[in-house]
Structure 1
Amino acid sequence: MKILSPRVHGYLDYLVVALLFLAPTLFGFGGIAASICYVLAPIQLVMSLLTAYPLGVAKVIPFPVHGGIELVTSIGLLAAPWLFGFSALDNARNFFIVAAVGLGLVWATTNYVSARTTTTNRIGIGL
């Protein structure tokens, strides 16, 4: 069921940026897990600013592409503790698992078609 509108998805995206920046401090982990968070946060910020949805600024990245990137990212977040060797660190591992599941749920419940319709109607061009 696609219950999240593009606008709500956008708010969640910017919330995720803040959470990624703060997670190492809030949940007490460092090392490679913290570095991954610090790399992903600005990437998520730039992607959100460039996405063609209500909270995007430049509207360069189609919203469904944005969603595809987030799906791949959720899989990467789930695998990261084992790929990067921090699976024994409970706080970091658990944060990455919860973040992966959360991002996957956002992907699964977002209405990506709605953004195309909204964007097309607003600029008056039918694709």
Structure 2
Amino acid sequence: MRFIPTRTHGVLDYVVGALLIVVPYVLGFADGTAAQWVPQFLGLVAIGGAMLTDYELGVMRAIPMPVHLGIDIASGVLLALSPWLFGFSDRVFWPHLLVGVMEIGAGLTTRTVPGDRVAAPGGRAL
């Protein structure tokens, strides 16, 4: 069931993207390893993708919303599994796992048509 409006998803994209960039410093795992670089890279991908997505908060509106959501799901899977894939689960894994699972959830529950394109019952855009 897709219940998250695309505008809300857009806000989450920018907020979570920024969070992923700063959280290694805030939580003390900014050590120059994959524990730091994976979330920071995916944070940049989230912000860049948000800017290029065809929804209310997109700047260039080039990426269709279903493609954006697929990228979010793939990014969430990578982030959630990264502590084990890159061998740093013995030091830190909770932030990666939690945000990754949340990203997957958002990708699966966000509407695929931007709110500014939803048609009214008579066929006109609202």
Q: TM-score, normalised by structure 1?
A: 0.85
For residues 106 and 58 of structure 2, what CA distance do their matches in structure 1 show?
A: 17
Which runs of 5 or more structure 1 residues have no equivalent in the other structure? 122-127
SS of 2:106's equivalent? helix
- The structure with the greater share of residues assigned to helix is 1
Once the two structures are superposed, residues 23-43 of structure 1 have per-residue CA deviations (whole angstroms, 9 ceiling, x without a partner) of 101211132211112222222
- Counterpart of 1:38 (choices 29, 37, 40) is 40
In the other structure, the counterpart of 2:27 is: 27
Could you tell me how far 1:58 is from its partner in structure 2? 0.3
CA RMSD of aligned residues (A): 1.9
> What amino acid maps onto 1:29 in structure 2?
F
In the other structure, the counterpart of 2:3 is: 3
- Counterpart of 1:54 (choices 37, 53, 56) is 56
Which runs of 5 or more structure 2 residues have no equivalent in the other structure? 121-126
For residues 70 and 28 of structure 1, what CA distance do their matches in structure 2 show?
A: 25
Deviation >6 Å, runs of 4+: none
> What amino acid maps onto 1:53 in structure 2?
Y
> What amino acid maps onto 1:39 in structure 2?
F
- Counterpart of 1:78 (choices 69, 77, 80) is 80
Task: Tell me whether 1:93 sits opposite 2:93 in the alignment.
Answer: yes
For residues 81 and 9 of structure 2, what CA distance do their matches in structure 1 show?
A: 24
Q: Which moved more, 1:74-83 or 1:48-57?
A: 74-83
The answer to whether the 8 Å contact 1:21/1:37 transfers is: yes
In the other structure, the counterpart of 1:125 is: none
For residues 118 and 53 of structure 2, what CA distance do their matches in structure 1 show?
A: 11
In the other structure, the counterpart of 1:69 is: 71
Could you tell me how far 1:119 is from its partner in structure 2? 7.7
For residues 69 and 78 of structure 1, what CA distance do their matches in structure 2 show?
A: 14
Could you tell me how far 1:7 is from its partner in structure 2? 0.2
SS of 2:89's equivalent? coil
Could you tell me the percent identity over the aligned residues?
Answer: 34
Distance 1:50 1:119, change over 3 A: farther
> What amino acid maps onto 1:84 in structure 2?
F
The answer to whether the 8 Å contact 1:53/1:119 transfers is: no
Q: How many residues align?
A: 118
SS of 2:114's equivalent? helix
